Amino acid sequence: MEQSRTGGLQKKFFVALLIVGILPGVAALIATYLYSTDSLKHSIGNGFQEIARSTAIRIAAAVDTEIDRAARLALVPIHIRHSLEVANQRYAGKSEGQIRALLEAEQTAWSKARTAGAPLPLPDTTAYLREWAQEAGYYVGVVIADRHGAVMATSTPRTPYLNGDRDWWREAFEQRTAYVSSIRHDPALNDYLFEVSVPILDEGHTKPVGVVGLVIRRDVLMNTILPIRIGETGHGMLLDTEGTPLICPVLPPTAHLIHEALLTQLAQDRPLWLVAEDDAHGGRNSIVGAAPVRFAHQLSTASLDGEQWFAFIRQQPEETYAPIYSLLVTVGLIGFGLVIVLASLGFLVGRRIVSPILALRREADALRRNVAALPDSIPTHDGTARPASIDIRTGDEIEDLARTFEAMRSALEESLRTVKTQQEELIRREKLASVGQLLAALAHDLRNPLGVIRSSAQLVLEEQQAESVKQEVARYIIEEVDRLTHRINDFLRYARQKPPEPKPVLLRDLAEAALRQWNAQGSHESIALDTNFSDALGPVHVDPDQVKEALVNLLINAREAMPHGGRLMVATRAAEQGQVEIEIADTGCGIAPAHLEHIFEPFFTTKEYGTGLGLTNVKRLIQENGGFLEVQSQEGTGSRFLIRFASSPPSGRSGRTAEPENEAVGARPSTLA
C-alpha cells in the first residue's frame, strides 16, 4: 500500500498561488520585453538604414567626382587632345598587320627605355599629368592611351605600354562610357587600389580616339566610411554582391566574408534594415542597415567586376540591447518581490481551506482499506457495525462533498455485495458449460472410432475369415486407435497449457524442422512444395517446440485442404518495424467467408473427423510466444497464414544468436515423392 502523503495539497495550493502571482509578472515582463525590443529595433534599424543610405550617397559622390575629373582632363586641348591626335596619326594608312608590328616595336623600345631609366616621352604632357595628380594626393597613376591602347602619356613609369586587353581601356573605349573597377590589392605598393577611366571623344563627340585612366588609392573611399562611429562597436563597411568586404575599419578584407543568407537579404535595390542571425563579425541577432551605392554616371557592364556595391552598417548586439537588458532585470526583481509576498499570504490562507479536505481524504483512505479487504469485510444487513463517518461542518461546498461521499460509500458497499454474489454464480455456470462442451465433443469423437474398432474385432474373431481380411481389419483398428490418440492429444493440449520456454532460434530452422515432421507423415505425394528462406534474418526468442507444433498443424491443414493435389509455399522474410515473418500458403479449397471469423474458436470445425482445436492451439501457441497470426483466404483459391515475431531478443534475456542447423535453402520448387 502506498504511504500516505502529508501536506501535499497545502503545498500544491501554495504553488498554485505562487504561479498565479508569477504568471501576470511573467506576462508583463514578456510584454515589456517584446514591446521595448520591437521599438528599439525599429528605432535603431531606421537609424542604421539612414546612415547606410547617406554613406552610399557619399561613396557614389566620391566615385562620380573622380569620373568628372577624368572627363575634364580628357577635354584639355593642348596637353591631351592635341598630343593624342598626333599619336593617332601614326596609324594612318597602315594595315592591321603593320599596326601590330609598329606597336610591338614601340613596346620593345618602351621596355628598354624604362629599364635604362630614360625619361618618359612628351615631357610637357607628363609634367602636366603629375602636377594634376598631385593636387588630390591619392592618385597612383594617370594614363592617356590612344585608340589602340598604347600609352601616349603617363605620370608613372610603372604603366605598361600596351593596354588594349585591359578592362579599364577596353570598357571605356568600346562602350564609350565610364568604367570603375573593383577594389584590388597591389603587392608592389602594398595598398588597395581601384581604377576609373573615361573615353576621349573626337570633336564631334561621336567616336572615341583615346582613354583617360586613373589609378586611385582606396583612401578616397575610406574617408567616407571611417568617420562612421556608432557607440563603441558600431561602424560602416563597403561590400559587393559577392559578399567581399571591400572596406572594413575593423577587420581586413580577407579576414571575413559575408555569408550567402545575409547577402541575399542585403542585396536589395533600396535602403533597408534587418536583424541578422550572423553579421560576419561574431554578432548574433545583430541589427544591421544596408543601402545600394547608385552612381550618377552610367557605368560599363564590366564595372565593379559585374557586381554592385552596398554600404553596410552594424553594431555588436550586446551594446545595442544593453538598455533593454537593464530594464528586464529591474522589472524582474520588482516582480519577484511581489510574488514572494503574495505567496506568503496565500500559504496562510491555504491552511484554513485545506484542513477539511485533509480530513475527507482520511475518510476516503479508510474506505479504500475496507474495500481492499473484500470479500470478507463486506458489510451485511445483520447490524454489523462499520467505521463511523467523520463529521465535517464547514458550511460550504466541502460539507456537501462530505455528505455525498458518505452516500457514495453506502451505495458502493451494496453494489459490492451484489457483484460478489453474481460473480460466484457466473463462475460456477461457466465451469459447468465448459465441462459439458468438452465432454460432448469428446463423446462425439470417440463414438465412431470405437464402433469401427468393435466391428473390426468381431471380424477378426470369426474363424472363417481369410488371413488377408484379418490383416486389413487389424490395420483399420490401428488407424482408428491412432486417430483416437490424436484426438485425445488435442484435448490434452487444450486443457494443459504449458508456458513457453523461449530460446533464440532462426525462423528457417523452425520451418525446416516442421517440414521434416510433416514430410514424415506422408500423404502428400501430389503436392508441390515451394520454399524461400531468407538468410539475412536475425533470431527470434520463442519456444522452438511450441512454434514447430503450430507450424506442423498449419502444414497438416494445408495438406487436408488439397486432397487432389496442389501447391504449398513456405517462406521466411523480413517484415516491417524490425519484425520477421513466416508464410504458409496453399492452393486448396480455401475457407468460406462465413467461417473465417470462427476458425480460431474452440470446437469449431467443418470436418467430419475434426475436434475444432487445431487452429485454436495454433493461435494460442503463437500468441504466448509473442507472435502475431494473420490469415487470408478465398474460397476455391486457397489460404495464406502469416506469422510475425520480433527479430531481436527481449531486453534482459540472453543475447545469444541461434546457429542454423541446415545449409541455406534457396527459393526452389520441389515435388514430394
Superfamily assignment of 499-671 in CATH? Answer: Histidine kinase-like ATPase, C-terminal domain (3.30.565.10)
pLDDT at 32: 75
Pick 566 or 372 by higher pLDDT: 566
Considering the entire predicted model, what is its pTM? 0.50
Q: What is the mean pLDDT of the chain?
A: 80
Lowest mean pLDDT among 312-316, 471-475, 647-651: 647-651
pLDDT at residue 98 greater than cutoff 60: yes
pLDDT at 670: 36
647-658 pLDDT, tens per residue? Answer: 865 444 333 334
Contact criterion met (CB below 8 Å) for 67 and 198: yes
Domain with CATH 3.30.565.10 in the chain: 499-671
65-80 pLDDT, tens per residue? Answer: 999 999 999 998 888 8
| % of the chain with per-residue pLDDT over 70 | 78
Contact criterion met (CB below 8 Å) for 575 and 644: yes
Give CA–CA dist 264/20, Å, rounded.
46
pLDDT at residue 16 greater than cutoff 80: no
pLDDT at 72: 93
pLDDT at residue 131 greater than cutoff 50: yes
Residue with cell 514430410: 519
pLDDT at 334: 77
Average pLDDT on 462-470 reads 71
Q: What topology does CATH give the domain 373-496? A: Helix Hairpins (1.10.287)
Enumerate long-range contacts of 158-161, CB under 8 Å, 24 or more apart: 158/188, 161/106, 161/107, 161/110, 161/111
Give CA–CA dist 507/542, Å, rounded.
10
Select from 473, 644, 503, 668 the least CA-distant residue to 574. Answer: 644
236-278 pLDDT, tens per residue? Answer: 989 888 888 888 888 776 666 788 888 888 888 899 999 888 8
pLDDT at residue 669 greater than cutoff 50: no
Lowest mean pLDDT among 20-24, 127-131, 438-442: 438-442
**CATH code for the part of the protein at 22-340:** 3.30.450.20
Give CA–CA dist 526/516, Å, rounded.
17
Domain with CATH 3.30.450.20 in the chain: 22-340
Domain with CATH 1.10.287.130 in the chain: 373-496
Could you tell me which residues come within 8 angstroms of residue 60 by beta carbon, excluding any fewer than 6 positions away? 293, 294, 295, 296
Give CA–CA dist 519/330, Å, rounded.
87
pLDDT at 1: 43
pLDDT at 493: 62
pLDDT at residue 662 greater than cutoff 70: no
Please give the C-alpha separations between residue 309 and each of 60, 213, 288, 312, 556, in angstroms, as whole numbers. 9, 21, 16, 10, 85
